[in-house]
Structure 1
Amino acid sequence: MSRTTQLEHLDLNLLVLFRHLLVERSVSKVAEVLGLSQPAVSNALSRLRKALGDELFIRTPAGMVPTPFADQLAGSVTEALGMIHAALNQRSAFDPRASDRSFVLSMTDIGEIYFLPGLMEALREQAPGVTLSTFRQNTADLRATMEAGQVDLAIGLLPDLKAGFFQRRLFKQRYVCMVRKGHRLDRRRISLADFSAAEHLMVISSGTGHGQVDEILRRRGIERRVALTVPHFVAVGHILQATDLVATVPERLADRMKQPFGLVAVPHPADLPEVGINMFWHAKYHRDPANQWLRGLVFERFGG
């Protein structure tokens, strides 16, 4: 017979602890976040294990790893706690035209180039008093800042942002080759041989999934003569404009850079897979009226 856990026998604080362990994967870090001693956190985890009849988290060299049952619970528990938080902190409906709210978005330099001009135009039309700022963090720190409400939305290719978060697909895009106009590869199609023979600008964008492109090319045995490596995309237009280098970039970034820098984009000869760009928000703020409005605005402008 399956075991049934009665809610009246379960302390809600134990579920809060469970959610923090999903994010932190460390008893000591959870103790620090909650202002408790490590023995107190260990004791609470023991009580939760007993109540649910599962180990929930297994200690490994990589930290406290959730069991399959804990992974199964993660989404529902996080959403339920978010609903309770929203109900206890109910606010009036968000009025964008009257608001002077400042929203914080986490995105890469690609996101800033692609999304911010359109978002600022939308704010001018719909919410003239609202302001934006952007924020860049590694995924581990981003989880904590979004749960704390310090970052309202994260936008991009963030495959590690899972437990405790909602997400919505904005669009899918391919990678293209980008060169200056008049470059010898400025033509409708290029071969893999021409691609490999060219000198390349490679972007290593840490904290995002864009590094998968380099890994795919390596796995397929496609070599590049990398002449320059940079840690971000923001300088790509300036560099390509003045050199004979070739860069592999997301197609929507290419669309933004073509006209200002006199560049062209051609289909990638490696036939790289499409990637999905998503919008992420913490379950704690799923029903927050201001967050809902911001998500709707972003999807209205960039979804599809």
Structure 2
Amino acid sequence: MNLNQFDFNLLKVLYALLLTSSTKEAAAKLHISPSAVSHALSRLRASLGDPLFKRENNKQIPTPFALSLKEKLVPLFISLNDDLFTEAIDGSRTFKVVCPPALIDIITPILSEQCELAGCYIECVTYQRRSWRDEVLDGSIDLVFAVGSEQKPVSSLKYETIGESKLLVIYGKNAKLEFNNSTEISLEELVKYKHVYCLPWLQDENELDRQLNRRGMSRNIGFKCPEYSQVIPALNNSSMLAIVPEPWLRNSGLKNTVNIRNLPDDLALGRLFIMYRKSMQPWKKKIVAILKSKAGQYYE
């Protein structure tokens, strides 16, 4: 079989099943009966030579082959839908943004302001270190701020690098710590003292810690906290260190209560980028542009 012989109507069924993982929900999405979905799935299995889905707990779980098709098929359908049927863009007044904890304090004033100016509902979604691509593609998330490298390009998504920022070592002014240099901290000194750790991912997933591990070193975490607002109070009552992004420290009202040391240059940079759908209502694009401009004041 080749493309000329393949019934492309079957791809709509595959697309719906990949999105919903449910025969019933796929049928509702396509306005056909569940039995029609099951029949189409049987034809797909015969044509593609793969079971495509396995039923588990009333869910259609995609096979590895089906997941590989999803990587290509979902962005393609979304791009076609956006290009051919612009009226299909979601008309709800909801804007959902995913943002790393260190950036929350910087963008929160903008979000609350735009909530009133744009007359919309805005929600900050808890950050997790993963791609978020599927959520942006299906419209459940409008904008993602992320650290690290941009992801694999997808035609219907837009990636923009905001810039880079330095990572700094901070500690309380009353901490009894000894360093050889007045401005920079050596790697040996960095791992000598306990650290306050505030990141929404495990230490072995953190790039700086990976770089230290490659050099045969590791940080000793003394206190782990979920909120950046806890970092400086923790430092001011201990002799621990913390590594924080320079933009967060610059924006903090407690920045004058801590001492600062620079990291070695090859460990000191962090990159920020944003991801959103190319097809977006004008009022959402305006919010994205304002947030990008604000973040750009801190990341060069």
TM-score between both structures, scaled by the size of structure 1:
0.68
What residue is the counterpart of 2:58 in the other structure?
A: none
What residue is the counterpart of 2:81 in the other structure?
A: 81
Distance 1:266 1:210, change over 3 A: farther
Within 5 A, what are the aligned runs for 1:227-238?
A: 227-238=222-233
5+ long unaligned stretches in structure 1: 92-99
Kindly, what percent of the aligned residue pairs are identical?
18
Q: Distance in 1 between matches of 2:150 and 2:51?
A: 20
Deviation at 1:222, TM superposition (A): 1.6
Distance 1:243 1:208, change over 3 A: closer
Within 5 A, what are the aligned runs for 1:169-188?
A: 169-181=161-173, 183=175, 184=177, 185=179, 187-188=182-183
| Alignment check: 8 A CA contact 1:157 1:210 kept | no
| Alignment check: 8 A CA contact 1:254 1:265 kept | no
What residue is the counterpart of 1:96 in the other structure?
A: none
What residue is the counterpart of 1:280 in the other structure?
A: 275
Distance 1:301 1:232, change over 3 A: closer
Give CA-to-partner distance per residue, 1:30-58, whole Å, 9 cap, x none: 4365257998656545655777x796969
Give CA-to-partner distance per residue, 1:129-153, whole Å, 9 cap, x none: 4553312165789566545544322
What residue is the counterpart of 1:133 in the other structure?
A: 123
Deviation at 1:247, TM superposition (A): 1.0
Distance 1:90 1:181, change over 3 A: closer
What is the number of residues matched between the two proteins? 282
**Which moves more between the two structures, 38-47 or 145-154?**
38-47
5+ long unaligned stretches in structure 2: 55-60
The answer to whether structure 1 residue 105 and structure 2 residue 97 are counterparts is yes
Within 5 A, what are the aligned runs for 1:247-258?
A: 247-257=242-252
Deviation at 1:274, TM superposition (A): 3.5
For the residue of structure 1 that corresponds to 2:266, the secondary structure is coil
What residue is the counterpart of 1:194 in the other structure?
A: 189
Q: Distance in 2 between matches of 1:200 and 1:90?
A: 45
Distance 1:201 1:68, change over 3 A: same
| Alignment check: 8 A CA contact 1:199 1:224 kept | yes
Q: Distance in 1 between matches of 2:184 and 2:131?
A: 42
What letter is aligned with 1:156? A
The answer to whether structure 1 residue 152 and structure 2 residue 142 are counterparts is yes
Deviation at 1:180, TM superposition (A): 2.6
| Alignment check: 8 A CA contact 1:165 1:281 kept | yes
The answer to whether structure 1 residue 302 and structure 2 residue 295 are counterparts is yes
| Alignment check: 8 A CA contact 1:258 1:264 kept | no
Deviation at 1:105, TM superposition (A): 1.7
Aligned CA RMSD, in angstroms, stands at 4.6
| Alignment check: 8 A CA contact 2:165 2:247 kept | yes
What residue is the counterpart of 2:8 in the other structure?
A: 10
| Alignment check: 8 A CA contact 2:17 2:23 kept | no
Give CA-to-partner distance per residue, 1:139-191, whole Å, 9 cap, x none: 78956654554432222238797667433222223422122346545931111
Distance 1:131 1:212, change over 3 A: same
| Alignment check: 8 A CA contact 2:169 2:241 kept | yes
Distance 1:49 1:172, change over 3 A: farther
Q: Distance in 2 between matches of 1:292 and 1:63?
A: 34
What letter is aligned with 2:221? V
For the residue of structure 1 that corresponds to 2:229, the secondary structure is coil
Q: Distance in 2 between matches of 1:194 and 1:80?
A: 55
Deviation at 1:115, TM superposition (A): 1.9
Distance 1:225 1:4, change over 3 A: closer
Give CA-to-partner distance per residue, 1:281-303, whole Å, 9 cap, x none: 246xx243232222222223324
Q: Distance in 2 between matches of 1:86 and 1:102?
A: 18
What residue is the counterpart of 2:207 in the other structure?
A: 212
Q: Distance in 1 between matches of 2:188 and 2:287?
A: 46
Q: Distance in 2 between matches of 1:251 and 1:155?
A: 17
